[in-house]
Amino acid sequence: MGRIGLAVLTASTLLVASVAAVQAQDEPDYARASVGTRVLDFGNGTVVTLLLEAANLGSSELEIAEITFPVGANPPRGHAHGAMEIFYVLEGVLGHVVNGEEHRIEPGMVGVVKGGDDVRHRVLSDVPVRALVIWVPGGEADRIAPPDRWTVIGGG
């Protein structure tokens, strides 16, 4: 099996295992998706849409978001997260620079950053990068932006 197939298999396995772990909990009091979704617009074309978080999951084991980086995104320096960050690229080409080493992540490929690693996300294509991002454990969305930068859409 090639690297791409292995990465997709690994991402799928991780997601299935994460969902199974959440479903196995004794407390089935999660809120339905109708609670709404938060969207963060950084004002530079980068947009984060929270799909799954404590508000609609009922716990903070993980968060899942869709993130869009605009064409030409190339921040001058990286950042660190307190959680593992897993990117699954849907479209575009992402330059995933982890601890100074750049990885080219194309649609269908996965990039992983461990908590504390230095990471920088660059767009290497002439189209925006759209990706699913999974943070384990959750709580990273609130850490990367104060609540007053979020817009709540949907209703619940």
* Per-residue pLDDT at 24: 46
Chain Cα centroid distance, residue 41 = 14
DSSP category for residue 52: E
79 in Cβ contact with 120 (< 8 Å): yes
* Per-residue pLDDT at 3: 53
Q: Which domain holds residue 107?
A: 3-153
What stretches in the chain show pLDDT beneath 50?
A: 5-6, 8, 22-35, 154-156
Domain at 29, CATH number: 2.60.120.10
Give burial (CB, 10 Å; 0-12/13-18/19+) of 138: buried
* Per-residue pLDDT at 12: 55
Peptide bond before 137: cis, by omega within 30 degrees of 0? yes
Torsion angle in degrees (nearest 10) through CA of 25, 34, 81, 99: 100
pTM of the model: 0.72
* Per-residue pLDDT at 78: 81
119-128: per-residue pLDDT in tens?
999 999 999 9
Torsion angle in degrees (nearest 10) through CA of 11, 16, 20, 23: 100
* Per-residue pLDDT at 133: 95
* Per-residue pLDDT at 34: 43
The total number of structural domains that make up the chain: 1
